[in-house]
């Protein structure tokens, strides 16, 4: 699989200076963590779940979570488990392959016993799974999940990743936050080879205080949430070899709502490209707030994003592509002759690149470039979004509602 692989080769050639690489579920964990991109959640109760997975893959979705937790009612769990097993078994029986035509698939469970139970019930169809999402993760609650995952991996003979979700009140509350994050760091370190990424449950954080952000306010505008994100990255997202990939919070909105503030998308980048209709559509569906939050995610050390609607996937991926300018800066900084340090003017002559302070940024940028590609000079997120929108319209795969 590869990002933007759903676009025609001629379209990719026009957009990319360097195209995204192909990868499989067996690729190195560091690459897969970045490759997650927009991770689309879907309730495991959906009657056409197998077809949904195939359709989403056809639209460029590279990672999905099939949810048995908050997206379904308590009474639905047994039926949802049965449906999940039935649908994945059907995909496997039809010859679909985790490394050919399916996204990276994860199951979000409620309790550790589900990992053992589902892995056994899936049988050979477990080959379609890349791992499990572990809810409300702390050191005490998380260890049984990680232990169950390690046993399941040994029993089925397939590498299975964990994606813990940080969403508990202990992470949010100031008096318990430091101790809780330190405990999470210990448990993650013990199972480092199996923890692919840490996910942030910002909706749960807000619920502790009865808050809900509007489509015009990002997670970073909510002070309580912003401090938690900063502390999670500080403790768990360090770039010294001890940290993990931390993914961006969910964006909850996908339909038009009455506006209080002006749109956050400048008109000129769209007008220059004859894409005024695309800008109007993004604003109409409150996507300008999403685009801003994606940029703030990256500025705050997060990669990828949790998504609950297919329309969110293209913006996340478009803004994950490395610009030609970023690529130029990163490659200049990492040239062998620069190892001694120093300062140099960028090739775009608009900034100074300091070799030692910017080295870690450059390395992360080139990893993102490998996974999401490098845009041609003069190509930006508007061109990438427009190409994806044209492909979507051409295929006629309009989605009726939310996935999770």
- Specify whether the CB–CB gap between 148 and 116 falls below 8 A: yes
pLDDT means per 10 residues in the chain (404 residues)?
94 96 95 97 97 96 96 95 98 92 97 97 97 98 97 95 97 97 97 96 94 89 96 96 95 64 57 59 65 94 95 93 96 86 85 91 96 94 78 46 46
* Nearest one of 281, 232, 227 to 389, comparing CA atoms: 281
User: Does the predicted TM-score (pTM) go above 0.85?
Assistant: yes
- Specify whether the CB–CB gap between 264 and 289 falls below 8 A: yes
Residue range 203-213, pLDDT digits in tens: 999 999 999 98
Residues sharing a CB contact under 8 Å with residue 236, sequence separation 6 or more, in sequence order: 181, 184, 185, 188, 198, 243, 244, 246
Q: What is the mean pLDDT of the chain?
A: 89
Sign of CA dihedral 34, 282, 9, 330: negative
* Nearest one of 328, 320, 381 to 350, comparing CA atoms: 328
The helix or strand, by DSSP H or E, that contains position 8, with its residue range, turns out to be none
* The predicted structure's pLDDT at residue 396: 43
* The predicted structure's pLDDT at residue 100: 84
- Specify whether the CB–CB gap between 233 and 246 falls below 8 A: yes
Task: Count the Cβ atoms, other than its own, within 10 Å of residue 261.
Answer: 11
Q: How far apart are CA 33 and CA 19, in angstroms?
A: 19
How does strand 246-251 pair with strand 305-307? parallel
Q: How far apart are CA 274 and CA 328, in angstroms?
A: 27
Residues sharing a CB contact under 8 Å with residue 157, sequence separation 6 or more, in sequence order: none
Q: How far apart are CA 275 and CA 280, in angstroms?
A: 9
Residue range 291-342, pLDDT digits in tens: 889 999 999 999 999 999 998 999 999 999 999 999 999 999 998 887 778 8
Q: Which domains does the chain have, with CATH numbers?
A: 9-321 (3.20.20.60)
Would you call 55 helix, strand, or coil by DSSP? helix
* The predicted structure's pLDDT at residue 271: 60
* The predicted structure's pLDDT at residue 71: 92
């Amino acid at each position: 699989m590869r990002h933007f692989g759903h676009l025609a080769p001629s379209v990719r050639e026009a957009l990319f200076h360097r195209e995204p690489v192909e990868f499989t579920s067996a690729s190195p964990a560091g690459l897969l963590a970045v490759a997650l991109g927009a991770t689309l959640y879907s309730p495991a109760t959906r009657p056409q779940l197998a077809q949904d997975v195939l359709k989403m893959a056809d639209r460029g979705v590279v990672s999905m979570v099939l949810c048995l937790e908050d997206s379904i009612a308590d009474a639905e769990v047994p039926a949802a488990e049965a449906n999940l097993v039935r649908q994945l078994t059907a995909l496997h029986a039809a010859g679909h392959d985790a490394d050919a035509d399916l996204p990276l698939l994860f199951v979000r469970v409620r309790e550790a016993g589900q990992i053992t139970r589902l892995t056994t019930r899936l049988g050979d169809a477990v080959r379609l799974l890349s791992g499990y999402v572990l809810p409300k993760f702390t050191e005490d609650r998380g260890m049984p999940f990680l232990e169950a995952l390690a046993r399941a991996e040994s029993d089925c003979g397939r590498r299975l990743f964990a994606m813990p979700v940080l969403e508990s009140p202990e992470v949010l509350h100031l008096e318990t936050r430091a101790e809780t994050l330190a405990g999470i760091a210990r448990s993650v370190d013990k199972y480092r080879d199996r923890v692919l990424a840490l996910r942030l449950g910002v909706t749960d954080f807000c619920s502790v205080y009865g808050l809900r952000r509007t489509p015009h306010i990002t997670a970073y505008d909510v002070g309580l949430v912003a401090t938690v994100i900063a502390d999670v990255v500080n403790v768990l997202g360090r770039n010294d070899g001890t940290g993990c990939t931390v993914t961006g919070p969910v964006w909850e909105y996908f339909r038009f709502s009455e506006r209080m503030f002006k749109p956050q998308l400048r008109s000129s980048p769209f007008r220059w490209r004859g894409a005024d209709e695309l800008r109007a559509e993004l604003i109409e569906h409150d996507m300008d707030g999403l685009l801003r939050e994606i940029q703030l995610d990256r500025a705050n050390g997060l990669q990828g994003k949790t998504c609950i609607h297919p329309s969110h996937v293209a913006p996340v991926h478009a803004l994950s592509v490395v610009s030609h300018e970023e690529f130029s800066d990163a490659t200049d900084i990492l040239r062998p002759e620069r190892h001694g340090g120093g300062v140099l003017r960028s090739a775009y002559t608009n900034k100074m690149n300091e070799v030692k302070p910017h080295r870690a940024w450059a390395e992360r940028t080139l990893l993102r470039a490998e996974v999401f590609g490098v845009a041609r000079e003069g190509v930006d997120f508007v061109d990438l979004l427009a190409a994806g929108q044209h492909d979507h319209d051409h295929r006629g795969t309009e989605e009726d509602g939310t996935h999770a």
